Amino acid sequence: MANGRLVEPDLKFIDGVIELGGSSLKKCFQCATCSVVCPLSSEDDPFPRKQMIMAQWGQKEALIKDKNIWLCHQCQDCSAYCPRGARPGDVLGAIRAFAIEKYATPKWLAKLVREPKYLPLLFIVPIILFLFIALLNGTLPPKAGEIRPSHFIPDTTGLDLVFVPLSILLGVALFKSLSRFWKDISAGLVEKPSAYQMLLKGGWWGILFSTAKEILSHARFRKCGASANRTVPHFLLLWSFIGLFIVTGIGFVAEYIFHIELPFPMTNPVKLLANVSAVALILGALMILINRLQDKDAPKTYWDLSLIWIILAVGVTGALAEIFKLVEMAFWAYGFYLLHLASVFVLFLYLPYSKFAHLAYRTLAMVYEKYSSKA
């Protein structure tokens, strides 16, 4: 009984958590060691003990609205000290998959991304799209020494005609999902912070700044002990995406405002930043993949590994396309560039619906934690 009501476990949810990597769920016998040793758990609202028993009882709706499933960074300190060999971090990781699907807009796209049988389709669609555009543009077969983005698109704005609308649509979908998530986690807030408390926190700008500072420095990751080797690769990935985002923004402004011909020469600082970011992307993704494969107890599910393989595909195909362009091997350069475009397309598509979405949900959960805290 809970609050005078009969608890009705969601058995499909329990099976789903186990299937997505929470196979150790039933080992937990509620000793609370995990909450004690977790370096990120607060005294006022500790985790993951409470989340483990809720998962055992199949309390899906309550769990997916719990901000603490996102505050967990899966650092595995709880797993290292569990006397029963349970892995609460992996259980919470599986629950996060259900939360992403719950808030996803539209839901059918979330299921498409989550099922491995649809992965070939996700790549085939953009490949056909870019090949069709290239045929219309008359750039197939490619000419030696002429490897430019415009060769796969009708003109220099063609690439943006694909990715800009895609980014806007996915941005709107992610915003709607996060709005629903914020509404749910804030529904349980009994008392909003007073004006004085908000003043002490620096207002919303202060909360956002302190959250961004924590994320950019990976301050919470650095508190983890059992899997401290996760800090560096995640740090590399974060800053590689930031670097590539900056490069893309500069390129957009350079081409459409200042009408500078692209691509930039290899010695240009923007090009150097792009190459350094690409190397960091590949290195960070490889380190994460190796760490995961070396951990014999870590889940090896499609949900956990698909994102890292797609990130690797983006980095490796982009690097190979540039290398073959430099040595003027047009056929191979075009082939890898086409795969690179398709990989970027799929990565964009993955953002609101896959494990990639934790960037947004965890950030929002950290903002809410600071906003609702009495400290």
Burial class from Cβ neighbours inside 10 Å (0-12, 13-18, 19+) for residue 249 reads: exposed
Where residue 297 falls among pLDDT bands split at 50, 70, 90?
A: confident
CA–CA distance from 292 to each of 52, 66, 98, 227, 300 (Å)?
Answer: 22, 26, 21, 10, 8
Residue-level pLDDT at 139: 64
Among 130-139, 273-282, 365-374, which stretch is predicted with the lowest mean pLDDT? 130-139
Q: Is 10 left (phi over 0), alpha (psi -120 to 50) or beta?
A: beta
State mean pLDDT over 142-167: 65
Runs of H (alpha helix) within 83-157:
88-103, 107-114, 119-137
Check whether 1 has a pLDDT greater than 80: no
Check whether 2 has a pLDDT greater than 70: no
The mean pLDDT of the chain is 88
Per-residue pLDDT tens over the stretch 17-63: 999 888 889 899 999 999 999 999 888 888 999 999 999 999 999 99
| Structure token digits, residue 269 | 């600082």
Residue-level pLDDT at 234: 94
Taking a C-beta distance cutoff of 8 angstroms, is the pair 96, 361 a contact? yes
State mean pLDDT over 247-263: 84
Where residue 280 falls among pLDDT bands split at 50, 70, 90?
A: very high
Check whether 14 has a pLDDT greater than 70: yes
Where residue 148 falls among pLDDT bands split at 50, 70, 90?
A: low
Check whether 238 has a pLDDT greater than 90: yes
- Between these two residues, 142 and 304, which has the higher pLDDT value? 304
Residue-level pLDDT at 145: 55
78: nearest Cα among 121, 49, 111, 102: 49
- Neighbour tally for 159: CB within 10 Å: 18
Residue 255 CA to residue 21 CA, distance in Å, equals 46
The C-alpha angle 336, 339, 344, rounded to 5 degrees, equals 125
